[in-house]
Amino acid sequence: MKIVNPLGEITVHINVLKHLVYQSLLESYGLVRMDDVNIISKYLGGEEKGIHIRDDEDGIFIDVYPVISYGMKIDQVALNVQEYVNYKFEEMLGMKPVEINIHILGIKLD
C-alpha cells in the first residue's frame, strides 16, 4: 500500500496492516481467538491467521475470521470490531478501509 503526501511517498507492507488489525482485535471485547477457513493457514498461520487483507486501486478490503465467546451478542461484537479497526486505521494511517467483513467461525462455550 502506498500513501502519498506532500513530502513524498510512504510504502506500507501488507504484514504491517495485518499486525495493526491483529492488535485491534486483541483489544476488542468478546473475541476469544482467530481461526481461518484455509486449512494450511489454520495450523501454520501464526498469530495473524484469520486476517485477510486485499489492497487494490479502490482501497483496502479486510476479512476477519474470529471465534467469539458464548453469551455475546454476535451482531454487537461484529459491529464493535468493525468500528475499532476502522478507528485504528484512521488514527495510524490517516485513511479508512473500504470494507471490514467479519465472518464468525464459531462460538467458544467455555
Nearest to 20 by CA among 95, 110, 106: 95
In a domain, 104, yes or no: yes
In a domain, 1, yes or no: no
Which DSSP string corresponds to 16-62?
HHHHHHHHHHHTSTTEEEE--SSHHHHHH-GGGTTEEEEEETTEEEE
Q: Angle at Cα 35 formed by Cα 110 and Cα 57, nearest 5°?
A: 145
How far, in Å, CA of 55 to CA of 61, rounded?
Answer: 6
- Number of independent structural domains in the chain: 1
Span 49-82, pLDDT tens digits: 788 999 888 889 999 999 898 988 999 999 999 9
Output the pLDDT for position 84.
92
* CATH number of the domain residue 11 falls in: 3.30.70.1350
Cell readout for 19 is: 499486525
Span 2-48, pLDDT tens digits: 877 788 888 888 888 999 998 888 888 888 888 777 666 666 666 67
Q: Which residue range is the domain that position 40 belongs to?
A: 7-108
In a domain, 50, yes or no: yes
Cell readout for 18 is: 495485518
In a domain, 70, yes or no: yes
- pTM for the model stands at 0.83
How far, in Å, CA of 50 to CA of 3, rounded?
Answer: 25
In a domain, 38, yes or no: yes
